Amino acid sequence: MSAALGSTTISVGGDYDVVIGSGVLGRVADLLGADVERVLVVHPPTLDALSGAVADALRDRGYAVHPAEVPDAEAAKTASVAAALWAQLGQAGFTRTDAVVGVGGGTVTDLAGFVAASWLRGVPVVQVPTTLLGMVDAAVGGKTGINTAEGKNLVGAFHPPAGVLCDVDVLATLPQADLVAGLAEVVKCGFIADPVILDLVESAVADDAGRARSAANPHLRELIERAVRVKADVVAADLRESSLREILNYGHTFGHAIEQVEHYSWRHGEAVGVGMVYVAELARLTGHLSGPEGDALVDRHRSVLESLGLPTTYAAGRWDELLTAMRRDKKSRGSTLRFVVLDGLARPTRLAGPDDALLQAAYGLVSRRDASGAH
């Protein structure tokens, strides 16, 4: 790791850098290779000004910029949107020495990364995440993808970016609910690997809960850097998720199922928050967490997430749909469901093939009786 001029650079296994700083947006061209001529700048309609600034910085350095507006949020992650971008790349004559830049939240960086992974079987992508979730998670690590009618992220590729540029100033305009959803993935890193993250979140909440849930959180920069370090260390060791990388999926088996059942009306981070409480309860039911310490750790899941305003319950009466969605989780092996659970704080392990009765009992412990999916 290195720090210069107010920015921090975290190397991902020596392969590429994640630059985190204030006022760094103009440095985007530094992350592109010298051979690049054309750049596709993928962005949602909500970020015209921001992506325009990125495009200007690229034009100033002599690149031919091709702006590509895509639908907002999860609607961007579809085969038809990817196909429209492939058409644009083909018509503009993009070669293997040209590049894609994703400017937006995790939905945009997942899409842009996937289009870069698949165009000519792989061209460089530079990610410019503009949400907290994008900075700490989606833009880092090379998991790219789109959804299909059958589920979340079912089509994709591992395609590490050439670089990631996180300008924390852009978080000032992010709606609070999206900032808080990003904090769910930060908290995830706290439970699986770096408990100092949990201490920092809890101390920010104790000082001023409203501020803790905003871009003015006094620990935000440190939280971003710590979460990026957790992710960078894991993906540097296991890019293709043969084993260790699965820990980054903590809370996602149940979380992705909620997203799908709710037709993506829930934010990803919100669903993952409930998913983490679900696996914490499942860990207790299966004896991975036990005794007063285990109880305290399960309680800490609820308390830290609720203190940020994140949901920790989900509607009752949806078990069959949730189970069908969970079976499509990428950690499944044949008909065996697999979960990341904790043996203790920052001690992740795997739980394979728990009894259906226990899976359903854990659902009972996170379900709300009013049966509405609203949160």
Ligand X SMILES: O=C(O)C(=O)C[C@@H](O)[C@H](O)[C@H](O)COP(=O)(O)O
Ligand Y SMILES: NC(=O)c1ccc[n+]([C@@H]2O[C@H](COP(=O)([O-])OP(=O)(O)OC[C@H]3O[C@@H](n4cnc5c(N)ncnc54)[C@H](O)[C@@H]3O)[C@@H](O)[C@H]2O)c1
Q: CA–CA separation, 329 vs 325, rounded Å?
A: 7
Shortest approach of ligand X to residue 329 CB, angstroms? 7
- In angstroms, the CA 247 to CA 341 distance is 8
Report d(CA 284, CA 314) in Å as an integer.
Answer: 19
Contacted entry of ligand X, ligand Y, none for residue 21, CB cut-off 5 to 8 Å set by kind: none
> Residue 72 Cβ, how far from ligand Y at the closest point, in Å?
5
Taking the C-alpha atoms of residue 349 and residue 239, their distance in angstroms, rounded to an integer, is 18
Can you tell me the distance from the alpha carbon of 296 to that of 309, in angstroms, rounded to the nearest whole number?
20
Supply 171's token pair.
Answer: 């978080």
Which stretch, 41-49, 241-249, 317-325, 357-365, contacts ligand X (CB under 6 A)?
A: 241-249
CA nearest to 276, candidates 348, 352, 222, 175: 348
Q: Which pair of tokens denotes residue 84?
A: 């429209």
75 is in an annotated binding site: yes
Q: Is 281 a catalytic residue?
A: no
User: Does residue 241 carry a catalytic annotation?
Assistant: yes
Site for ligand X in 99-138 (CB under 6 A): 137
Q: Is position 375 annotated as part of the catalytic site?
A: no
Does 331 appear as a known binding residue?
Answer: no
* 178 interacts with, out of ligand Y, ligand X, none, CB within 5 to 8 A per kind: ligand Y
> Residue 1: what residue type?
M
The C-alpha atoms of residue 219 and residue 216 are separated, in whole angstroms, by 8
Binding-site member from 7, 147, 217, 249 for ligand X (CB under 6 A): 249
If one asks whether residue 153 binds ligand X (CB under 6 A), the answer comes out as yes
Tell me the residue number closest to ligand X, measured at CB.
Answer: 153
Count the neighbouring beta carbons within 10 Å of the beta carbon of residue 208.
13
| Binding residue (CB under 6 A) for ligand Y from 124, 134, 309, 354 | 134
Return the H-helix or E-strand segment holding 205. helix 196-207
How many Å apart are CA 167 and CA 181, to the nearest integer? 18
State the DSSP H helix or E strand holding residue 3, giving kind and residue range, or none if neither. strand 2-4
Q: Is residue 362 a known part of a binding site?
A: no
Q: How far apart are CA 108 and CA 127, in angstroms?
A: 9
Q: Which is nearer to ligand Y, 273 or 354 (CB)?
A: 273
Instruction: List the one residue from 10, 53, 133, 257 that touches ligand Y (CB under 6 A).
Output: 133
Q: Is 252 part of the annotated catalytic residue set? A: yes
Q: Pick from 143, 159, 213, 245: which binds ligand Y (CB under 6 A)?
A: 143
Q: Is 76 annotated as a binding residue?
A: yes
Does 107 show up as a binding residue in the annotation? no
Degrees to nearest 5, angle at CA 342 with 344 and 310: 105
Assess 219 for contact with ligand X (CB under 6 A): no
Active-site residue identified among 213, 229, 252, 302? 252
Q: Is 329 in the site for ligand Y (CB under 6 A)?
A: no
Q: Which of residues 22-61 bind ligand X (CB under 6 A)?
A: none
Rounded to a whole number of angstroms, the minimum distance from the CB of residue 245 to ligand X is 5
Site residues (CB under 6 A) for ligand X, limited to 175-194:
185
Binding-site member from 134, 141, 182, 190 for ligand X (CB under 6 A): 141
Single out the residue of 69, 63, 67, 65 nearest to residue 30, CA to CA: 63
Q: Count of alpha carbons within 13 Å of 155, Cβ hemisphere only?
A: 15
**Secondary structure class of 101 (helix, strand, coil):** strand
DSSP element (H, E) containing 223:
helix 220-237
Question: Interface with ligand Y includes 262 (CB under 6 A)?
Answer: no
Q: How far apart are CA 268 and CA 260, in angstroms?
A: 10
Annotated catalytic residue 256: yes
Catalytic residues: 121, 143, 185, 231, 241, 245, 249, 252, 256, 268
Residue ranges in contact with ligand X by CB under 6 A: 137, 141, 143, 153, 185, 241, 245, 248-249, 252, 330
Binding residues for ligand Y, rule: CB under 6 A, are 44, 46-47, 72-74, 77, 104-108, 110, 130-131, 133-134, 137-138, 141, 143, 153, 170, 173-174, 178, 181, 185, 267-269
